[in-house]
Amino acid sequence: MKAEKNPGRKALCLIWAVLYGLTALLGLWIPRPDGLTQGLMTALSLLFFLPPWRMLVLARREGDARTVGVLRWLSLLALVLTTGLLCIVILTANAAEPVQLTVHVLTGLLTAPMLCSGFYALPLFCWAALLMAALRKKK
């Protein structure tokens, strides 16, 4: 059996999954936070991006092209799906309530850090920055 180059990657993936779950739950259960709650939820949505950044740094250092590729495609997929889902949200604005609820839940699951922070631009910027960093050629 081949030994894993970076044993900490599993821990980072677990932390990333837990942060995703927290941002999804908070984003769906607290739709309009205010004050301190808004600040904490925004901080949590930014904290969501630390594990993939750390994985990218470790993968670059170790020459792990597979992990860099996975992060690249995941970032691109998140950006494309978010754009598509935001278009669907706009198109279903006048739809029946069950349709709107379904679209809201799908939006919450796909765009968990964005819904949690309440600011779509900030997490979208983080996804784009992660994509750009993954696209950058190693020096």
Where do the domains of the chain lie? 8-134
The mean of the pLDDT values for the chain is 86
% of the chain with per-residue pLDDT over 90: 36
Phi, psi of 129 (to 5 degrees): -65, -40
Work out the burial of residue 10: count CB atoms within 10 Å of its CB; fewer than 13 is exposed, 13-18 middle, 19 or more buried.
Answer: exposed
Question: Could you tell me the pTM of the whole model?
Answer: 0.81
Helices 121-135, 65-91: axis angle to 10 degrees equals: 150
Mark the ranges of the chain whose per-residue pLDDT is less than 50: 1-3
